[in-house]
Amino acid sequence: MHNLTGAPYAVAPFGYFLFTELGVYAFLIACLVHAGKRRDGALPCLLGGITFGLLLEFFEVLSGSYSYGHFWLMLGRAPMDVPLFVGVAWGVIMYTARLFSDALGLPTFGAAALDTLLALGIDISMDTVAYRMHFWNWDWNGTGRDPLTANWFGIPYGNFVGWITVVFCYSLFSRIFERRLLGKRQNLLLACSVPMLAVATSLAVLCSTEILMFPALNRIGVTSGPRWLILALSLMVLTVLGWRRRNPSAEKPHRLAVWVPAWFHLLFAYCFVVLGFYRENPWLTIATATSLLLGIAIHCFPIRMRSASREPAPDGEFVGPFLSGR
């Protein structure tokens, strides 16, 4: 594990590691139960998100981007091992974000943008705290940068660009392939092909941007910080445009769509206070509090506005497998 050079924090007690891990597995079980009651497209999409998450984590660890602390269930051999729960968390976060956006009835691009903003909000809230707990460690050795203030309080801006790319692509492509291949049909083979195609296409986009596009942008001065800002603003624009064209479901978002982000936000806000990270930097405290409040607002505002929305989609319009086949 990379040392958090210059940081005043020891590794958090193992109980924090275990509680976080078990909490994610509990939500996995709840999501599996939920998906199992839906059309056969929901369960493959959940499992595809988990598979995608694990592939990403192994790729990042092997490339030396960061390393993990020791959790209960690890895959691979140290120091190139990955906690199983991290891949599960990717799938659970993307799945429940989609439950939320599907219920709001945003069009394809707007829904994918909102999914990404919801996931990004969780990561911004979680990453700075988990990093200080030594859940995972970014390697700032040899850069001359302070590991607690470099980029976003020690988290490389490129991490957030990666979150945006991964969640947006998987959310977008899974919706597109569902519409093209499934429609309103219930076909297990086609349903299983959707996440496979979505993962393959998303990986192609991720690799092409990492290998070709981003190095070219770096050469003209568009580094990871500006890229993160541009992408985040673009997501906000797509979400607002999609909100104007929404066609919501007759039902409220499933409880999991609120419980999962609430658990992540509140857990790491609790750790931030109890472990004393708030003493480090007032700007970090402001950023953490703002992230928590925005997470609450983003989930509460659309639900309150639903009553003013248009009628649900007619029977002939595809609304996605997560809201059908009840």
Question: What pLDDT, on the 0 to 100 scale, is given for residue 209?
Answer: 92
**pLDDT average, residue stretch 246-269:** 87
Classified as helix, coil or strand, 82 is: strand
Least confident stretch, 68-77, 80-89, 97-106, 303-312:
303-312
Please, how many CA atoms are within 13 Å of residue 132, restricted to the half-sphere of its CB?
26
Burial class, 140, CB count within 10 angstroms (exposed 0-12 / middle 13-18 / buried 19+): buried
* 215 Cβ neighbours under 8 A, 6+ residues apart: none
Secondary structure (3-state) at 75: strand
Q: Average of pLDDT values for 188-212?
A: 91
Q: 2 — phi, psi (to 5°)?
A: -65, 140
Residue keyed to tokens 């390393």? 67
Span 199-225, average pLDDT:
93
**How is the chain split into domains, by residue range?**
21-310
pLDDT band at 5 (very low <50, low <70, confident <90, very high): low
CB atoms within 10 A of CB 199: 21
Q: Is the pLDDT of residue 319 over 70?
A: no
* pLDDT for residue 164: 96
Q: What is the pLDDT of residue 144?
A: 82
pLDDT at 320 over 90: no
CA distance 46 to 90: 9
What does the pLDDT look like over 44-73, one tens digit per residue?
A: 999 999 999 999 999 888 887 888 999 999
Q: Please state, in angstroms and as integers, the Cα–Cα distance from residue 207 to each residue in 30, 163, 165, following that order.
A: 32, 13, 10
The answer to whether residues 85 and 73 touch, using CB atoms and an 8 Å cutoff, is yes
How much is the pTM? Answer: 0.90
Burial of 33 (0-12, 13-18, 19+ CB in 10 A): exposed
Q: What pLDDT is attached to residue 40?
A: 62
The pLDDT tens digits for 273-309 are: 999 999 999 999 999 999 888 888 877 765 555 544 4
Q: What band does 2 get if pLDDT is binned at 50, 70 and 90? A: very low
d(CA 97, CA 259): 11
Q: What is the DSSP letter of 148?
A: T
Give pLDDT tens digits for 23-45: 999 999 999 999 998 866 899 99
pLDDT of residue 301: 66
Question: So what's the pLDDT on residue 285?
Answer: 95
**For residue 175, what are its two tokens?**
């919706």
Q: Which of 163, 303, 182 is nearest to 246 (CA)?
A: 303
Residue 64 is classified by DSSP as T
CA diameter of the chain: 60
Residue 180 has pLDDT above 60, yes or no: yes
The count of C-alpha atoms lying within 13 angstroms of the C-alpha of 269, restricted to the half-sphere facing its C-beta, is: 18
Task: Tell me the two tokens of residue 93.
Answer: 């976060």
pLDDT at 250 exceeding the cut of 50:
yes
Across the range 162-183, mean pLDDT stands at: 92
Q: Mean pLDDT over all residues of the chain? A: 87
Is beta strand 82-83 parallel, antiparallel or unpaired with respect to 136-138? unpaired
